[in-house]
């Protein structure tokens, strides 16, 4: 009897008796602010800074900007490389370039990066490459540069650290300040 009563209420547009559906219209989604992205990897042998492009999901480019530095690079050199990588980051609207977001393309880019780094720095396996790697993602948007360190769960897999570990500075072209912020974020990786 209860089910028949609820069904009748729904047919009459009264909604479910236990829920209030009044004025629950679909709301438009917010447009994300323009952002530029880069990815930073560091081991005892190198620091690699690479441009990422996209919209809400960002990925490597097929022939994107990549710079490899010595692990002891000065803050100014680090900052210049990160600012250049952010400069080359592109906004890519998914409906216009759907192929850019295909998993196979991304996987191939990542494998090419791994192969190049392994050959360049003498790593014998991807496990060896990722074993002591620190990894950060940088984002320039809304007048700030945010650098987010990550925790290595196992070789090749990372998870987010709490937001208070992020390094955030005002947007600047001061390469030394950007490099110092990047070094701090890399040092916060686990």
Question: What global pTM score does this model have?
Answer: 0.81
Kindly state the greatest CA–CA separation across the chain. Answer: 77
Question: Which residues lie below 8 Å from residue 31, measured CB to CB, with a gap of 6+?
Answer: none
130-162: pLDDT as tens digits: 999 999 999 999 999 999 999 988 877 889 999
23-81: pLDDT as tens digits: 545 454 567 788 999 999 999 999 999 999 998 889 999 888 999 999 999 999 999 99
- Please tell me the CATH code under which domain 34-188 is placed: 3.40.1590.10
Helices (H) and strands (E) in the chain, counts: 5, 8
N-terminal to C-terminal alpha carbon distance within the chain: 59
- Segments making up each domain of the chain, as ranges: 34-188
């Amino acid at each position: 009897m209860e089910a028949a009563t609820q069904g009748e209420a729904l047919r009459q547009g009264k909604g479910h008796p236990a829920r209030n559906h009044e004025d629950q219209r679909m709301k438009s989604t917010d447009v994300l602010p323009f952002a530029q992205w880069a990815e930073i990897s560091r081991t005892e042998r190198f620091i690699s800074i690479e441009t990422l492009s996209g919209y809400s999901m960002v990925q490597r480019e097929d022939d994107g900007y990549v710079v490899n530095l010595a692990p002891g690079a000065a803050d100014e050199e680090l900052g210049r490389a990160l600012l250049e990588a952010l400069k080359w980051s592109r906004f890519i609207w998914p409906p216009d370039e759907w192929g850019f977001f295909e998993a196979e393309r991304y996987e191939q880019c990542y494998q090419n990066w791994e192969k190049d780094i392994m050959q360049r720095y003498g790593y014998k396996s991807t496990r060896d490459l990722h074993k002591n790697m620190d990894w950060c993602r940088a984002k320039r948007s809304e007048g700030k540069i945010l650098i987010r360190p990550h925790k290595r769960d196992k070789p090749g897999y990372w998870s987010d650290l709490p937001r208070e570990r992020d390094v955030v500075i005002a947007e600047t072209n001061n390469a030394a300040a950007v490099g110092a912020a990047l070094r701090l974020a890399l040092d916060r990786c686990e």
